[in-house]
Amino acid sequence: MRFDLLTIFPELIAPHLESGITRRAFASGQVQVKCWNPRDFTEDNYRRIDDRPFGGGPGMVMLVEPLERALAAARMDRGDPSNCPVIHFSPSGERLTQAVAAELAAGEGAVLVCGRYEGIDQRFVERHVTREISLGDFVLSGGELPALALLDAVTRLLPGVLGDEASHQQDSFQADSGGLLDCPHYSRPEQLGEDRVPAVLLSGHHAQIARWRREQQLRYTQERRPDLIDAARAAGRLTADDEKWLRTLRDQ
């Protein structure tokens, strides 16, 4: 799997590739990441990659031509001149979700376009971008942080990246757990002031522990993200026991 990033700040990307659990995927070459700076593809003495917007207004707009040359270089280097997905990070894009990360983890990678300033010239988007993605309803200074978030979300789903293959199957939003929030977790010490670890977790009774964790998933999700409960119900991911527990919560 390979990701190519079009970014004028490649120095923001490198530290992520050398830290954390996912670094093993980058170090081993399981996930290849290469940055392409549009400034390296300019043809003027000032290496200009932006200019004022037509129609007036504040800010600057990233120019089409340096981005197109950088994209062409990335595609040629991949040996895939036209078929690679091109993702642009934009407030108008679809939300980055666990389902989107899983979809991308099953592919061969993409070119990630990291815009800056007021944005990039719309003609580049219309000519080349195949998908637009957003982290949420807020605005960032550039696309590098969304690109890093996507890289992390996708990479941790790949085989062998996490220490335990079952780790991501229990994550929040994971389809394996019904798309619900994860349950709370506890570790040592067993007692912290007046706060004790729930007794069931110390019981060694695996079936009871599993049921407790499922009930806590349902409780947390119902309290904090009831829309996920509705989605799980619509998808047929809730069991009869789940529904019984949810009725108990409503009656409390």
Cα 120 to the center of its chain, rounded Å = 22
Q: What is the pLDDT of residue 136?
A: 95
**3 state SS of 248:** helix
Q: Facing residues of 95 across strands?
A: 134
Q: Which residue is associated with the tokens 């229990």?
A: 170
pTM of the predicted model, to two decimals? 0.89
Judge whether 177 and 170 are in contact, CB under 8 Å. Answer: yes
Which residues, at least 6 apart from 84, have a Cβ–Cβ distance to it below 8 Å? 4, 75, 78, 108, 109, 110, 111
Catalytic residues: 91, 118, 156, 171
Judge whether 252 and 223 are in contact, CB under 8 Å. Answer: no
Q: DSSP state, 86?
A: E
Q: Which residue is associated with the tokens 């929030």?
A: 181
| Nearest in space to 174 (alpha carbons), one of 78, 107, 100 | 100
Cα–Cα separations (whole angstroms), residue 246 to 221, 233, 241: 10, 11, 9
Q: Facing residues of 116 across strands?
A: 142
pLDDT tens digit sequence for 132-189: 999 999 999 999 999 999 999 999 999 888 765 555 556 677 777 789 999 999 999 9
Q: What is the pLDDT of residue 177?
A: 72
pLDDT tens digit sequence for 2-20: 999 999 999 999 999 998 8
